[in-house]
Amino acid sequence: MPRPRVPKYKAKATGQDVGPNARRFKNRVEPISSGPLGKPPKWMKNKLRLDAWSTFESELPWLEKSHRALVEIACEIRGRIMSGDEVGVQALGLLRQCLGQMGATPVDSSKISLPDGGDTNDPSAKYF
């Protein structure tokens, strides 16, 4: 299996973007935030699916607008589970796959880095 791709910001921090391998990072573009996840879609009217949406939103604070399609799929399946409906193996596999893509599994969440929001309650902030 090939090595994972080094993000441009990491290459810059470690100095990999200069020297013989600089051409690798020259045209590499980092993803730009598309904004917060937002409210559930208007077509989602089922109470349990709406509850699943708010649960995902609170459990996974890094989700953005670009994740909406994955969250919609996951809400459909999680809503069925919450209602006690029969959920097949294929649906559970799809839910697991969506959770992995959203960074909601223990292994995948280790790859997520939240931006530092800056602690405004830090008493030492006025000195530094």
Q: What pLDDT is stored for residue 117 in this prediction?
A: 54
Question: What residue spans define the domains of the chain?
Answer: 34-107
Q: Which residues of 3-22 are buried (b: 16+ CB within 10 A; e: fewer)?
A: eeeeebeebeeeeebeeeee
Stretch 27-46: mean pLDDT: 84
CA distance 12 to 18: 8
Q: In this predicted model, what pLDDT tens digit does every residue of 80-108 receive, in sequence order? A: 999 999 999 999 999 999 998 888 887 76
Give, rounded to a whole angstrom, the gap between the first and last alpha carbons of the chain: 45
What is the reported pTM? 0.66
